Chain A
């Protein structure tokens, strides 16, 4: 049975903290989609509650291929071994390393065995909505504009039995059918260096950090607002890398606890006995009249960032974008609810809430906030009883300490 630490939730303390370091910490979030309840129950599940996008984690279920075609004019990928064969080997190692950072996190159902083949593909245009997960280093794409270094495009099914390209039909709602990672191939001012080449190329971005971040999207993560999290929206400065380099002793070292908590939430391990703590509660306004009148039925603060801090270490252990809850058959209710799951038991936590008005804004985490509802405007024929409209995130509130219960 899940341990709840609800008592602590009453101590939403950190408002003073929030006032002067609102930008300091935020939270993991997922790319949420609402199942298509217009479809029969057998393929939609019948509930309009949002479901996070996710990969299947059975043995060998996550295959990736990468395009060995690298740009030469300009050179965007820099390796320490400059021979053609050496470049390929070095890049393959970085990709494998970046994948294993995520698969080595303890107490998740995502395991090294979940990874299928990492294959090579000798064509520049490996990335497309074809049902094959691909990494492309030299594929121009109309989505690139100045300032965009790399991105991941994921395609998720909102019902069972959906295919894209050559993918197998989806067996779960929210299943990712295709995930492609694109690196900007044509910006003469941007290059990416492998870890062994980074120190000699301080103006290059760390390829490993960006790959680990993009693999987070590949697995279903949206952006986090925790400053040191791998899923923070912005890449480390040229010549630097995020967190600590992975080692054989700690292969998940680059990740922050927020990333790990998110992964455990997204890919929970039914046998886990350690990371089963949860903190939940609601963020409510002192004056209910301050809640928006439109859309109707908003009864709590929406879009608050709620953070759990380990009181012993001071570390941010997990956080969430609060403000909604959902019980089947849905839709989402905007009642100020927050839940932070998969925290280690036996620790003491303090919780604070803050508006998304700092380093990370609602625009940076929009998929976690804007895709919670579907209705007849977005989807003709959507049943009224399961329809809702996502309110605008509240970025104007301030918080205050409540007495301990």
Chain B
């Protein structure tokens, strides 16, 4: 590609990008759950460490039950270990899959917004929306959280606007502060 062709191409990309940005303001949507709704709709909020995940067949469907160690809970009361159930998994030679369902791996730490109660498997509010992965900077030790659905422009039916919300790379102390503030507000 010659210099002139490349320059022309980059201009074309630039204009295309502008067009796509405009589309972003009026296109995609998700049944959006704002942070206060995640807090409100959940019966428990906890920092968890994944221990293992097992697949089971129940009610003619394949489910994955992930066992988590409860590191701390900020809403509800949880025992030291809980079971979180998500649709899909591998059962014998059958691979059951549902797109958009979060998957967890042993050792991984997350904050989850949960529905349920001890004794029966918990479920995750809004699937990816209620899943916040914890990442630790290996050099600084600083922990941050990122929502699985972060960065997605979502449609707010009330304002009829697309907004790019979601929590991405937020310092964990700020995340906890945000959550505690919302919990306190809802308790009043």
Q: Are A145 and B115 in contact (CB under 8 A)?
A: yes
Is the CB of A234 closer than 8 A to any CB of chain B? yes
A384 at the A/B interface (Cβ < 8 Å)?
Answer: no
Q: Is B9's CB under 8 angstroms from A142's CB?
A: no
Which of A12-20, A74-82, A274-282 participates in binding chain B? A12-20
B60 contacts the other chain (CB 8 A): yes
Q: Does A253 contact B (CB under 8 A)?
A: no
* A270 sits at the interface (CB 8 A): no
Report yes or no: A33 in contact with B151, Cβ–Cβ below 8 A.
no
Q: Using a CB-CB cutoff of 8 Å, which residues 1-45 of chain B contact chain A?
A: 1, 5-6, 9-10, 12-17, 20-21, 23-24, 26-33, 37, 41
Taking the complex as formed, is B145 at the interface, i.e. its CB lies under 8 A from any CB of chain A? Answer: no
**Does A319 lie at the interface of the complex (its beta carbon under 8 Å from any beta carbon of B)?**
no
List chain A residues, Cβ under 8 A from B149.
361, 363-364
CB contacts (< 8 Å) of B97 on chain A: these are: 31, 53, 153-156, 367
* Binding stretch for chain A, among B68-76, B119-127, B170-178, B179-187: B119-127
Report A209-239 residues with CB < 8 Å from chain B CB.
Answer: 217, 222-223, 227-228, 232-238
- Scoring A residues 21 to 55 as 1 if CB is less than 8 Å from chain B, else 0, what string do you get? 10111000001010010000000000000000100
- Whether B96 is near chain A, meaning CB under 8 Å from some CB there, is yes
Chain B binding surface, main DSSP class: mixed
In the assembled complex, which residues on chain A have CB atoms less than 8 Å from the CB atom of B87? 141-143, 151, 153
Q: Is the interface of A mostly helix, strand, loop or mixed?
A: loop
A146 pairs with B37, CB closer than 8 A: yes
A94 to chain B, nearest CB (A): 19
Q: How far is the CA of A49 from the CA of B15 in the complex (A)?
A: 40
Check A357 for interface membership: any CB of B closer than 8 A: yes
Chain B nearest CB, measured from A293 CB (Å): 11
Take A129-B60, A232-B28 as given contacts and tell me if A361 and B150 are in contact as well, using a CB distance cutoff of 8 Å. yes
Cβ-based interface call for A332 (8 A)? no
Given contacts A129-B61, A222-B99, contact A234 B20 (CB under 8 A): no
B102 in contact (CB, < 8 A): yes
Q: Closest B residue to A221 by CB, please name it.
A: B99
The proximity string for B residues 75-86 relative to A, scoring 1 for CB distances below 8 Å and 0 otherwise, is 000000000011
Q: Is the CB of A361 within 8 A of B129?
A: no
Q: Is the CB of B33 within 8 A of A17?
A: no
Interchain CB contact under 8 A, A228 and B23: yes
Q: Which residue of A lies closest to B61 (CB)?
A: A129
CA gap between A370 and B27 in the complex, in Å: 28
Most A CB contacts (10 A, CB to CB) among B1, B128, B131 go to B1
- Contacts A/B (CB < 8 Å), 22 sampled: A17-B10, A21-B20, A25-B20, A31-B97, A128-B61, A129-B61, A145-B41, A145-B115, A147-B130, A153-B87, A155-B95, A158-B90, A227-B24, A234-B152, A235-B29, A236-B28, A237-B27, A237-B162, A240-B26, A359-B28, A361-B150, A371-B95
Question: Nearest 5 CB-CB pairs, A to B?
Answer: A147-B126, A21-B17, A24-B20, A363-B148, A128-B60
- Beyond the given A148-B126, A359-B151, A364-B100, please list 10 additional residue pairs across the A-B interface where CB-CB is below 8 A: A13-B1, A145-B41, A145-B130, A147-B31, A151-B87, A153-B88, A227-B20, A228-B23, A234-B28, A240-B26
